[in-house]
Amino acid sequence: MFFLYYIKFSAFFKAFSCKIHKKVVDFIKNIFMYPICAIVGRPNTGKSTLFNRLVRKRLAITSELAGTTRDRIFALADFHERQVMLVDTGGLDFGYDLESMEDNIIKQSQTAVDEADIIIFLVDGTSELTSDDYKACELIRKSQKPVLLVANKADRARIDNNLHIFYELGLGEPVKVSGILNIGIDNLKSKVLEILVDSNFKFTSKREEDDDRIKVSFLGKPNVGKSSLLNCVFNDEKVMVSSTPGTTRDSVSLPFEYNDNQYLLTDTAGIRRSGKLRFDKLEKYSVMRSLQSLESSDVGLLVMDATEKLSKQDMRVAEFISEAKTGVIIVLNKADLLTPEEKNAKVNEIHYKMPFLHYAPLIFTSAKTGTNVMQLFPLLDDISVERKKEINTRELNYYVDICLDKHQPKPGLKFKLVKQVATNPPTFVFFVNDKSLVHFSYKRYLDNKLREKYGFIGTAIDINFRDSKAKPPKFKTLTRGKKGKFAPKKSKKKPKK
């Protein structure tokens, strides 16, 4: 059994850079006591495939295209009754200029090596060693960390003819595996544990995933500053940031603690219109991962560029969040470039074009200056409380009866009972005589009245209608009264003389 984090480490305010970064590493090593195992190697050796095999789930995107993995991806996996935090890294390609995206990938991998307790150096067992293999080996040696040499693609006959070549790296006998066909995986896990035990690493016992964490996804079209905001939270640039659209490909999550509350923050790939994804399968898969992250989140942060007019892409992402029934905060990034008048105009534009998110709080932020970034967390706490709010059935029916009197439903439509049947999001079932008579405008009226009375700020509420014939409502908790159909019961106790 395992639980997973897709993890991208990021950035916070400059004044706290070193302290925050150390706190993140300690969160994994000291609090959870999980050893960190980084999978490192040149492009297309099968690192992401092996990573997915070890965690028993397809978390990292795999492709024959070199450079598919860019950011580090973390996931917790079982290694024979022990748990290890695995890190998938981008391929080490040293044949590029220092200012290129490949150089950023190398920096990400270097950081993974520095933070790891053990390193899996993965090579392609079917090919000759390249200059990138030797340079990667040199980078790993400098870390002075325990290294396990692993030759991938053991399902191919050619690997046995190549094994003698890998001794040139000076890392001992390579462990043969096949990430695709699950060959040698148990042996690899045993070897990793042997090295960790020899280095006197103290393992923690297994623990379940903390369900009290508030799960948050950063969503938006490309280049609105999602990764920059996440970097601003941790003040350590471990999420790649570039002006090139599509820099982020995997959805990667990070556990975070603020004011004694636990969060799981997920950076996602930018969501573009479907027409632009028609010929790019890799980006299409990245967008699918973004939407899957949204489905598993408590709150979606709709991140938009405050300096641009609302686009169809912004509207589409907003619709995705609305349909997912999650909590939502509208985040207008790059606010440091706006005047007060421009901010007011932006608020009016959003209220006019996104009336379906009228319940969402709106906040102006700047990932560049750190303005209002940490103010997101009190809002997340408030929304979490709103999503868990429960309304007493008697009180709810009494209030709904008053609303029905103020605005009568369509002739022939009769309401018999309303119940809150779930939280997160708050879900209500209205029992009626014929649900086909309910007009969408009346559903919207009930939604507005529930919010007027009970708040539900920042969260969607789910309203459903059910024919009472399908499931007879229980009226035991209700009574009829002069003030309304569901007025509270009067006390039957006689007054004391």
Tens digit of each residue's pLDDT (9 = 90 or more) over 270-298: 776 555 544 455 555 566 777 778 888 99
Query: Is this model's pTM higher than 0.85 or not?
Result: no
* Residue 6 resides in a domain: no
Distance CA 164, CA 173 (A): 9
The length of the chain is 497
Same domain, 178 and 236: no
Same domain, 115 and 148: yes
Same domain, 415 and 348: no
Same domain, 443 and 454: yes
Name the domain boundary from 146, 165, 198.
Answer: 198
- Which is it for the CA torsion 20, 25, 26, 32, positive or negative? positive
Percent of all residues in the chain with a pLDDT value above 70, rounded to a whole number: 74
Which residue carries 């350590």 as its tokens?
A: 236
Q: What's the pLDDT score for residue 211? A: 59
Number of structural domains the chain divides into: 3
* Residue 27 resides in a domain: no
| CATH code, domain with 453 | 3.30.300.20
- Least confident residue range of 8-22, 101-115, 189-203: 8-22
* Residue 2 resides in a domain: no
Contacts of 35 (CB under 8 A, 6+ apart): 84, 85, 117, 118, 196, 201, 203
**Distance of alpha carbon 458 from the chain centroid:** 18
Helix axes 131-143, 101-115, angle to 10 degrees: 40
Mean pLDDT over each residue of the chain, to the nearest integer: 79
Identify the domain containing residue 295 by its residue range: 214-387
DSSP H/E element including 467: strand 462-467
Name the domain boundary from 387, 404, 437.
Answer: 387
Contacts of 412 (CB under 8 A, 6+ apart): 433, 434, 437
Tens digit of each residue's pLDDT (9 = 90 or more) over 230-263: 888 987 665 544 444 444 456 677 888 899 899 9
* Residue 349 resides in a domain: yes
Q: What's the pLDDT score for residue 438? A: 94
Average pLDDT over residues 186-199: 90
Distance CA 118, CA 203 (A): 14
Say whether the peptide bond before residue 425 is cis (omega within 30 degrees of 0): yes
Is pLDDT above 80 for 309?
A: yes
* Residue 50 resides in a domain: yes
* Residue 20 resides in a domain: no
Q: What's the pLDDT score for residue 103? A: 59
Same domain, 42 and 184: yes
Q: What's the pLDDT score for residue 100? A: 52
- Please provide residue 444's backbone torsions phi and psi, each rounded to the nearest 5 degrees: -65, -35
Same domain, 410 and 316: no
DSSP H/E element including 189: helix 185-198
Same domain, 250 and 142: no
Tens digit of each residue's pLDDT (9 = 90 or more) over 31-89: 456 788 999 988 888 888 899 889 877 765 544 444 444 567 877 888 887 888 888 88
Same domain, 361 and 393: no
The strand pair at 73-79 and 147-152 is best described as unpaired
Query: DSSP code of 490?
Result: P
| CATH code, domain with 137 | 3.40.50.300
- Is residue 408 left, alpha or beta, with left meaning phi > 0 and alpha meaning psi from -120 to 50? beta
* Residue 203 resides in a domain: no
Distance CA 458, CA 386 (A): 8
HEC string of 287-313 equals HHHHHHHHHCCCEEEEEEECCCCCCHH
Distance CA 237, CA 216 (A): 19
Name the domain boundary from 158, 174, 198.
Answer: 198
CA torsion angle for 460, 267, 318, 445 (degrees, to 10)? 10
Q: What's the pLDDT score for residue 56? A: 79
Same domain, 146 and 237: no
Same domain, 414 and 292: no
* Residue 23 resides in a domain: no
Same domain, 221 and 281: yes
**Distance of alpha carbon 51 from the chain centroid:** 19
Same domain, 154 and 47: yes
